[in-house]
Every structure is written in C-alpha cells, then in structure tokens.
Chains A and B, each alone.
Chain A
C-alpha cells in the first residue's frame, strides 16, 4: 500500500508503477470544465486565489455538497470524465506546475506531453464510488468562484485521508488506458472476424 502526502514529492511520484494503488493524504483541488477553461485562458495569479494551487493535485469532480451556515460538508464526490477538460489541461499543468491529476477515463496526448514535462501523474479513482470517496474527504477547506461557476463547477479545496486511486498514466507517458485500448482493439477485431 503506497501512501502519498501532499505536496507531492517528485521522487515518490517517479517510483510509481502503472496499475499501482495509492492513497492520497493532504489537500486536493476540484476542477471541471469551467475552472479549467478559466485557469487556462486567464491564468489568474496564485495570489488572487484563496489557496495555493502551485504544485498541487487537481481532482476532476463536481461534488454534491450540503451547506450549513457558512460551512460545507461533502455528501457525494466521485470523479467526472477527464477527457472533457483535455483542451485546457496542458496549460493548467504548465502554469501551476500541477503534480497529479485525479479523474476517470484517462487523458489525451497533449495532456500527457505536459505531464511528462512537469513530472505530473494521472490517477484514476474508483468511478462512481461517490459516497465511499466523500467519506475520505475530512474537511472542506474552501471554495473559489462559487457564485460565478456554481457549486458543481467551482474549485473546492478538500482535505483528504487515504483517498484511493490507481496510477494509470506515469511521468514517462506510459498509460494503462492505452494498453487497455490496444488490448481491446485486438480482442474486438478477433470477435468481429470470428
């Protein structure tokens, strides 16, 4: 069992292998389509944000939250499909030196190139296990662009404990998604030609 603490240490990241299960401890930042488009196009300085995204971990997630006065609790928070932010992700990784992306389904070639340059990994968490994953979120530290983008599309900072995910893209550009895709194409071609 591999435990990773944020901020992530480059040495720890480099030693991970495809298919390895990791458990994240520390702070992660959510972001979906609107956050990514905004960060990539506007490149707001860290000083204008309520938390330090530099060298951080991004989680593709539009959580279901409950508001109690000024505090939030997380009811359900599984991953959202990563390919939807593929157009903006490379710019976000380079601008903020992102060290890990958590999502589902993997990402495209341009994102993988940016990940190689910045020594960033991609972690596929357990799709749809939103209550289980919400239970791993111990605290909502704060939100960014809540009014402008709404709860679902805002950036949230979560404190997590043993948040599970599987390494599916490493810093060398190797991807489990590509391996599975290749395997599935061989199998499908065989099935069609039966």
Chain B
C-alpha cells in the first residue's frame, strides 16, 4: 500500500505539471491553423508554458484543481483502505510538488491546508475482474467547473434575445451545448474540452459528462450516430469565434465527447462539463 501511495503522489506530479500528448498535439495543431493574430500569440505563450512547467516540474496552472479519482480495483480489496491511501497521497503531494491548497471547509470557510476534506478529493471506486489497479486522476480548475451547465428538456434556449426550443433529442442537446458555450465565452481559458451526458438523473449525468473529459481527443465513440455528432459539432463550435482565451479566432474547443444514459420517462437531462485548455488527466496502472 505504501508503494501505491507513492505511485499516487507521482501521478499527482505528472498530472499537475504536464498535459497529455493528445492535448499538446491538439494545441500545436491549433497554433498551426489559428488565423487570429492575438490568439496565435496566446497559443505561442501557452505552448511555452507547457514546456516550462514540464522542465521545471511546476504546476502548469496555479489552480491545481479539484482532484477527482476514478479507480478500478481487483476483486476483494478494501475500499476504505484505498480511500485512506489516496487521502495520504494527496497530503504528501500537496507539500511535495507543491499543489495549491484548494480544499475549503464550506461551513467555517477555512482552508483545510492539505487538499483533503469531506468528499475532497472525490474518489469513485469500481471493483473489476482485472488483476491490476487502474487509477485515473482528473485535476479540474474552479473556473472550468463553474461554467458547467445542466438543462432539463424541453427547454427554451435564449441566445442574446433570440429564442429556440430545445426538444428531447440530440438536436435539443446540441442547442444546449451552444447555449453553454455562449454563456462561458472566454471566462475559463478556451480552447475548451467539452464533456456532455444525456440521461434521467442529475448525479448520473453530472458524473458521466465529467467522465467524458477522461477520453482521448482522437478516440472514436462506439455509437456511430454519436461519433458523427461529436465530430460535426466540434467543427461547428470552432466557427463560433470565441477563440483562445476569448480573443477571437477559429479555436474555441479542442474536443467534444458525449455519452448517453437510460432515463426516466419524465426526465431528459443534458449535463455539460468543461475543461480549460490545460486539460490535466492521467493514469496509473499498478
């Protein structure tokens, strides 16, 4: 368990101080095709930032985020023990890397000082038939968290005074996604990575939409209709013109991923999660 703890500390370091290859590649591609001069300069600085952070092992963003773990364990291991190990690793990583202390006691308003608190970090554990541990970590910044949206369809979508009905279908979800991006503008560091989920319960869709951020940018959705939806919508989003940091241009999003869950007849919930360009995710197999 000590080895697992040290492994999680190193996972924190990797995730906080570097970004995955697929994301860096997407940003390099964005730099190549960016037509807006300010956004191009911003991308140049962003790419330098990624390289400075990696070589100096410093957090890529001062907001080292809300840590969310997705853990798959071999059968029969104690879940409470794994949570203890992750909490210990969080305290050590906070001192050692260091991470910014982001856990606030919501009642007293005091910073807990070590990035742990009730349901902080958030840890999802699934038992599997595999022999290995699979620990995935997402560090999501507060700005990105705050621009996420939830819609209950049918709903009236209002874009600057022009109204549209979002019906209970993928076209309705598409309108919600446009609305969420319109509300977000450049507030949370675009180009964004966008996770969407449609289903029938708030926690189910909130979980799933954030989970989509863990998918690689170039993966394919196994459901052909959703795969087309993801690719077409991404192209459309990049015609909106918000651009890098909201400066304008043709790079508003790096990727969009959608998942569906079964729903209750009364409910049709569309939940949308965002990540900034500094999409910090990583995996440890142990």
CB of A78 within 8 A of CB of B61, answer yes
CB of A164 within 8 A of CB of B45, answer yes
Chain B contacts for A61, CB-based, 8 A: 62
Rounded to whole Å, the gap between the CB of B58 and the closest CB of chain A is: 5
Bound together, the chains give a CA A151 to CA B94 distance in angstroms of 14
When each residue 114-150 of chain A gets 1 if its CB lies under 8 Å from chain B and 0 otherwise, what string results? 0000000000101111111111000000000000001
Does A80 reach chain B (CB closer than 8 Å)? yes
* Chain A residue nearest to B233 in the complex (CB): A191
Q: How large is the interface on B (under 10, 10 to 19, 20 to 34, 35 or more residues)?
A: 35 or more
Does A181 reach chain B (CB closer than 8 Å)? yes
CB of B62 within 8 A of CB of A78, answer yes
Which of B46, B59, B185, B248 is close to A76, meaning CB atoms less than 8 Å apart?
A: B59
Does B283 reach chain A (CB closer than 8 Å)? no
CB of B245 within 8 A of CB of A132, answer no
CB of A128 within 8 A of CB of B46, answer yes
CB of A64 within 8 A of CB of B188, answer no
Q: How large is the interface on A (under 10, 10 to 19, 20 to 34, 35 or more residues)?
A: 35 or more
Does A177 reach chain B (CB closer than 8 Å)? yes
Choose among A124, A126, A128 the residue with the greatest number of B CB atoms under 10 Å from its CB: A128
Does B247 reach chain A (CB closer than 8 Å)? yes
Bound together, the chains give a CA A128 to CA B241 distance in angstroms of 20
CB of B98 within 8 A of CB of A64, answer yes
Bound together, the chains give a CA A174 to CA B196 distance in angstroms of 34
Rounded to whole Å, the gap between the CB of A179 and the closest CB of chain B is: 8
When each residue 97-129 of chain A gets 1 if its CB lies under 8 Å from chain B and 0 otherwise, what string results? 000000011100000000000000000101111
CB of A191 within 8 A of CB of B236, answer yes
CB of B159 within 8 A of CB of A188, answer yes
CB of A150 within 8 A of CB of B98, answer no
CB of A192 within 8 A of CB of B62, answer no
Which of A66, A106, A189 is close to B98, meaning CB atoms less than 8 Å apart?
A: A66
* Chain B residue nearest to A149 in the complex (CB): B111
List residues of B (81-106) whose CB comes within 8 Å of A's CBs: 98-102
When each residue 61-105 of chain A gets 1 if its CB lies under 8 Å from chain B and 0 otherwise, what string results? 111101000000001111011010000000000000000000011
When each residue 38-67 of chain A gets 1 if its CB lies under 8 Å from chain B and 0 otherwise, what string results? 000000000000000000000001111010
Does A8 reach chain B (CB closer than 8 Å)? no
CB of A187 within 8 A of CB of B59, answer no
CB of A62 within 8 A of CB of B62, answer yes
Does A21 reach chain B (CB closer than 8 Å)? yes
Does B71 reach chain A (CB closer than 8 Å)? no
Does A176 reach chain B (CB closer than 8 Å)? yes
Which of A66, A126, A151, A184 is close to B185, meaning CB atoms less than 8 Å apart?
A: A184
- Closest 9 A-B residue pairs measured CB to CB? A105-B187, A127-B189, A185-B160, A129-B49, A76-B62, A132-B49, A64-B62, A131-B53, A131-B52
Interface positions of A (Cβ within 8 A of B)? 19, 21, 61-64, 66, 75-78, 80-81, 83, 104-106, 124, 126-135, 150-152, 164, 166, 168, 176-177, 180-185, 187-189, 191-192
